[in-house]
Amino acid sequence: MKVVITEKPSVARDIASVLKITEKKNGYIEGRGCTITWAFGHLVTLLEPGEYDSEMRKWRLDSLPFIPDEFKLKIIENPGVSEQFETIKRLCQEAEEIVCATDAGREGELIFRYILALSGCEDKPIKRLWLSSMTTDAIKEAFKDLKDGHDYDPLYAAAKCRSESDWIVGLNATRLFTVRHGRLASGDDRVLWSVGRVQTPVLAMIVQRDDEIAKFRPKPFWELTTKYRDVVFKYTGDRFEQPAKAQELLNQITGQPFTISAVTGKQKKEQPPQLFDLTTLQREINKSHGLSAADTLSATQNLYESKLVTYPRTDSRYLSADMKPRIPKILEQLKRIRAEQIEPLDPAKLPFTKRIVDDKKVTDHHAVIPTGMIPGSIGANEQIVYDAITTQFIAAFYPVCVKKITTVDGESVEVKFQAKGTQVIEAGWSVLFPKKKKKKKAEDGTDEEQALPVFEKGESGPHKPSTREGKTKPPKAFNENSLLGAMEAAGKLVDDDTMREALKERGIGTPATRAAIIETLLRRNYIRREKKQIRATDMGCCLIALIQDPLLKSPEMTGEWEEKLKQIERGEVQASDFMGGISDYTRNLIESSTSGKLDTNRIGDCPLCGKDVIKGKTAYGCSDWKEGCTFILAAEYKGLKLTKNQVQVLLQLRVLPYPIHIEDQLRLLLLSTQHDLMDIDLPSADRQKSEKDDGRPAKKTKNPPAKPGAKQPAP
């Protein structure tokens, strides 16, 4: 008997329908010598520390680091899960061959292999069903071409490393920071500080951006422009830091003629947009429709399971060469809903450029494209995502968009100005994208899209010069679009497609997990949404301030770890080497964090300027106060008294974000200065929630466990 294991019941039903297997049983479908059963996502998880050693149920610094010699597995505690696992286990033990039909990626492989291991069936013959779409043809073709399951051993090794490394870093770091910094100054409540290998660097990026915004001090500037024949010309020199200099030039040219000194034009070709990978799709949908990354992934997954688009969890924007024959057929099918858009394309002469087809840039899965099946009644989010994927797919085969960029130079009394305008010569692919409302003109009135009349070199006439005062602007707060871009490029905000592609190999997380990472931080109250912006909460700021180890919150370091996991997938790096590095890092983290001592001879550094903090009669303040530094920390704040030792902890361990906005934040930061060991006995659900950082959203339950940090004052 052959047993097929899928990740979800719906996928099992689809495969059974294609294979004409119809006899439904409790937890599986059978017929024609084949049994199809299913998981509910993850059925198996790693043991908790207390299940290795009962002493580990108590959270103590002297028990860290805890790194099991061998990781062990257990069934997730849920009656329905337990019953389904026993069904799968029995079927696997009776099977002659087992087929892995879970999602074709890292997590899907882990789900299957963990089930296999806990069932005691690792020595059974295994095959791999590798699907990029759920259409009937794709399923039939994949079953004809089943792969040897052990060809995917490196993928399993990478998935296992991801799971175990998140467990090691998350468990040890969470316990470390909770034991050391989880005691509040008043009362017996404790804060559970959840730290993770992936989530913490993402939080650090958000905190750093918010900090840059908070510390930003706008500087005034003045700009000089003039209007000639209703076109705004901008002074070509630098902006003025003093109004007098701008006024001097304004006086010089006022009443003087304006002369056109040069008119140049050049054509610019804009290539069609590339196909979507998941992250680019999420960013585009967030930008155009405001959907969260999690909502976009959910909608795309639903479209995939409805056979409307190909596999969504991909990091490639290219197709493989063997897909070329399928593309004309897909376009032909799409004519039923996009006839006008597809009509200009010749299916026999599609431009399969390197921007579309490149085998070297397709790993596990190609770009997300429509399958050609026509949607019936689908949800609003699904319709938005489907339309975007379909339009992008059609546009990829359209001609380039040709624009003419005209630059007009002018001068008045040797003061030089310039204006630019853009004219579309051949719309090409851009006809498929409705023109967005023009952005408001810059405050100086310039607009590179402004329509330019015909100018002749040497012409001259009156003009209207003017100056305006402006102020420099702070960096923009993250929104979901820009945060996904930063995660994709390991913290480097890059807009250029080519550069972003080069940096992608060192991104934080994977396309499949980035949305879940953001949702995890939201759920743990470390970040919040403010309209379209994503900002750190006081809890999030405090956690990042508590973490002294730069590697634990380094996007670049996490990007390197993710790259190592990809190298393991490709068989280029040994899993043992990666895990050895994770274990060494964790030991160093514990050792360095528990050996830190305060300098009792000094109070600390000013959070604003870095100078020494001194004690006054009623408050602590910056020693550089005569030069204008405004940092002050009252010794008593609304009934909360700070000892000198507590101030030293706050400043020397740099856990004091400044300015203090609310009383609750200061209360949260009045940490215990006792550095002796203390016991914490937290509920099992809290331990499980805090120690695991696998990038997958938590299951919703009727009575969810208490959230980390639930006892702390609300920010």
Spatial distance between the Cα atoms of 47 and 478, rounded to a whole number of angstroms: 36
User: Hey, is 659 helix, strand or coil?
Assistant: coil
Question: Are residues 408 and 390 part of one domain?
Answer: no
In this structure, what CATH number is given to the domain that contains residue 502? Answer: 1.10.460.10
Q: Which of 253, 239, 660 minimizes the C-alpha distance to 470? A: 239
Number of neighbours of residue 275 by Cβ within 10 angstroms: 23
In this structure, what CATH number is given to the domain that contains residue 343? Answer: 1.10.290.10
Residue finishing a domain among 438, 456, 471: 471
- pTM (predicted TM-score): 0.80
How many alpha carbons fall within 13 Å on the CB side of residue 666?
18
Q: Would residue 506 count as lying in a domain?
A: yes
Domain range for 114: 2-145
Please identify every residue annotated as catalytic.
311
Q: Would residue 39 count as lying in a domain?
A: yes
Residue finishing a domain among 95, 113, 145: 145
How many alpha carbons fall within 13 Å on the CB side of residue 228?
30
Number of neighbours of residue 319 by Cβ within 10 angstroms: 24
Question: Are residues 131 and 38 part of one domain?
Answer: yes
Q: Which of 342, 345, 326 minimizes the C-alpha distance to 334? A: 342
Q: Would residue 157 count as lying in a domain?
A: no
* 3-state DSSP percent of the chain in helix, strand and coil, to 5: 40, 20, 40
Question: Are residues 350 and 424 part of one domain?
Answer: no
Question: Are residues 315 and 286 part of one domain?
Answer: yes
Q: Would residue 300 count as lying in a domain?
A: yes
Question: Are residues 482 and 346 part of one domain?
Answer: no
Q: Would residue 154 count as lying in a domain?
A: no
In this structure, what CATH number is given to the domain that contains residue 410? Answer: 2.70.20.10
Phi and psi at residue 567, to the nearest 5°: -65, -35
Query: Residues of the chain whose pLDDT is less than 50?
Result: 184-187, 437-446, 493-495, 499-500, 502-503, 655-715
Question: Are residues 443 and 355 part of one domain?
Answer: no
End-to-end CA distance of the chain: 58
The count of domains in the chain is: 4
Per DSSP, the residues of 66-128 read ---SS--EEE-S-HHHHHHHHHHHHHHHH-SEEEEES-SSHHHHHHHHHHHHHHT-TTS-EEE
Question: Are residues 295 and 410 part of one domain?
Answer: no
Question: Are residues 77 and 57 part of one domain?
Answer: yes
Spatial distance between the Cα atoms of 102 and 5, rounded to a whole number of angstroms: 7
pLDDT for residue 491: 55
Residue finishing a domain among 370, 395, 420: 395
Spatial distance between the Cα atoms of 542 and 177, rounded to a whole number of angstroms: 11
pLDDT for residue 591: 87
pLDDT for residue 698: 37
Q: Would residue 649 count as lying in a domain?
A: no
Q: Compute the residue count for the chain.
A: 715
Q: Which amino acid is at 707?
A: K
Q: Would residue 642 count as lying in a domain?
A: no
pLDDT for residue 550: 85
Q: Report pLDDT digits (tens) over 295-308.
A: 999 999 999 999 99
pLDDT for residue 215: 83
Distance of CA 519 to the CA centre of its chain: 10
Q: Would residue 670 count as lying in a domain?
A: no
Spatial distance between the Cα atoms of 317 and 389, rounded to a whole number of angstroms: 12
Question: Are residues 289 and 389 part of one domain?
Answer: yes
Question: Are residues 284 and 248 part of one domain?
Answer: no
Cα-based distances in Å from 151 to 155, 366, 372: 9, 19, 31
Question: Are residues 300 and 185 part of one domain?
Answer: no
Question: Are residues 410 and 261 part of one domain?
Answer: yes
- Return the structure tokens found at 191: 């804060």
In this structure, what CATH number is given to the domain that contains residue 69? Answer: 3.40.50.140
